[in-house]
């Protein structure tokens, strides 16, 4: 399956039962609601997917199950966030075997690579597979910036096709487009500035709060791309307090709580993460419940 690299790609959460097992029925429910809302692809094993605490066997189960239930309707991607090139190569091979249609890739974890090492890492993995790749550029959280000069070398690999733009600098969309034109597609990876980046030419949105509010997320994307900025802005202004939950170190707990309140997920996370308690939980619940109570009536965005 060729990936168009446009639209909304949820960084889907991994659903757990109370006794810390994969909750595939609840996960399936969420995925089907996402697809009905109009998403364009799914990314498994990201930060929101709690990939760092998943076993390889669990990743295999999740990818194969997702491929089965999606049944070709949208592409399924697996995120690679490893400490070594050797393990990244293994994960890319697994992704292909399990049926994933693409990869999202972070720079090496824990060790901060320099320019030469970063480029070598991405190229080595890209040259080992024919799966299309979106490179996740998030220097704020992961400390390694993938610069435009690095991308100049990376585009020698034809399957490096897109950027998950998470530098927090909206103008970086223009820099990428000025330098690379249509060679690299840009998908915003920061919920709070996704609308702004799409107005500036980003082709898509790798979302977090979409896991709890898929219809509203897809509506904003489609309205912006249809030039209906004022209509999109009304939804965005309602959405922003919820989108800000994506920026916190506990984004997994916050977004899972939002999924639970929206009726399409649960709060259960895997240790060392713990579910929210006390004043913190009440403060986050207040934001979520107000958002749910004041949800806007959406236009017929699916027909755009």
Rg (CA), the chain: 18
- Asked whether residue 278 is assigned to any structural domain, the reply reads no
Task: Kindly list the strands in the beta sheet with 102-105, ordered across the sheet, starting from the edge strand earlier in the chain.
Answer: 7-10, 204-207, 185-188, 160-165, 133-137, 102-105, 76-80, 42-44
Q: Could you tell me the residue range of the domain that residue 105 belongs to?
A: 7-226
pLDDT recorded at residue 253: 98
Distance of CA 29 to the CA centre of its chain: 18
Domains held by the chain: number: 1
> pLDDT tens, 276-290?
999 999 999 999 999
- Asked whether residue 269 is assigned to any structural domain, the reply reads no
Cα 88 to Cα 92, 94, 132, 166, 229: the distances in Å are 6, 10, 15, 21, 40
- Asked whether residue 32 is assigned to any structural domain, the reply reads yes
User: Residue 197 belongs to a domain with what CATH number?
Assistant: 3.20.20.70
DSSP codes joined into one string, 12-42: PPPPB-TTSSB-HHHHHHHHHHHHHHT---E
- Asked whether residue 192 is assigned to any structural domain, the reply reads yes
Q: Which of 136, 217, 148 is nearest to 176 (CA)?
A: 148
Helix and strand numbers (H, E) in the chain are 12, 8
- Asked whether residue 115 is assigned to any structural domain, the reply reads yes
Cα-based torsion angle of the residue sequence 159, 151, 147, 49 in order, rounded to the nearest 10 degrees:
0
- Asked whether residue 238 is assigned to any structural domain, the reply reads no
Contacts of 98 (CB under 8 A, 6+ apart): 59, 60, 63, 64, 67, 78
Q: With beta carbons less than 8 A apart as the criterion, state whether 157 and 127 touch.
A: yes
Q: Rounded to whole angstroms, how far apart are CA atoms 32 and 55?
A: 24
Contacts of 185 (CB under 8 A, 6+ apart): 5, 6, 134, 161, 162, 163, 203, 204
Residue with tokens 């991308």: 151
For residue 198, what are its two tokens?
């799409």
Q: Rounded to whole angstroms, how far apart are CA atoms 85 and 263?
A: 39
Residue 2 has pLDDT above 90, yes or no: no
For residue 122, what are its two tokens?
């991405």
Q: What does the mean pLDDT of the chain come to?
A: 97
> pLDDT tens, 136-181?
999 999 999 999 999 999 999 999 999 999 999 999 999 999 999 9
Contacts of 292 (CB under 8 A, 6+ apart): 261, 262
- Asked whether residue 75 is assigned to any structural domain, the reply reads yes
Q: Rounded to whole angstroms, how far apart are CA atoms 173 and 123?
A: 23
Residue 69 has pLDDT above 80, yes or no: yes
- Asked whether residue 189 is assigned to any structural domain, the reply reads yes
Average pLDDT estimate for 41-56: 96
pLDDT recorded at residue 1: 64
């Amino acid at each position: 399956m060729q990936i168009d690299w446009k639209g909304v790609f949820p960084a889907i959460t991994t659903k757990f039962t109370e006794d810390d097992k994969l909750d595939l029925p609840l996960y399936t429910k969420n995925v089907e609601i996402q697809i009905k809302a109009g998403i364009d692809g799914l990314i498994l094993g990201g930060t929101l997917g709690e990939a760092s605490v998943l076993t390889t066997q669990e990743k295999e189960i999740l990818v194969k199950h997702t491929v089965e239930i999606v049944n070709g309707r949208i592409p399924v991607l697996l995120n690679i966030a490893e400490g070594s090139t050797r393990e990244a190569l293994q994960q890319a091979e697994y992704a292909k075997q399990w049926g994933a249609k693409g990869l999202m890739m972070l720079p090496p974890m824990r060790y901060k690579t320099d320019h030469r090492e970063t480029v070598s890492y991405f190229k080595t993995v890209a040259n080992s597979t024919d799966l299309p790749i979106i490179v996740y550029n998030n220097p704020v959280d992961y400390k390694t910036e993938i610069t435009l000069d690095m991308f100049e070398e990376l585009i020698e690999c034809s399957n490096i096709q897109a950027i998950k733009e998470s530098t927090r600098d909206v103008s970086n969309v223009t820099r990428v487009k000025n330098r690379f034109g249509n060679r690299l597609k840009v998908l915003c990876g920061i919920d709070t500035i996704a609308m702004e980046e799409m107005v500036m030419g980003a082709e898509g949105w790798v979302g977090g709060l979409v896991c709890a509010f898929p219809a509203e997320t897809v509506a904003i994307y489609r309205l912006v791309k249809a030039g209906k900025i004022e209509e999109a802005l009304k939804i965005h202004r309602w959405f922003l307090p919820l989108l800000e939950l994506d920026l916190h170190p506990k984004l997994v707990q916050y977004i899972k709580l939002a999924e639970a309140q929206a009726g399409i997920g649960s709060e259960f996370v895997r240790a060392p993460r713990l579910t929210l308690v006390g004043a913190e939980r009440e403060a986050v619940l207040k934001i979520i419940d107000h958002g749910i109570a004041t949800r806007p009536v959406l236009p017929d965005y699916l027909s755009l």
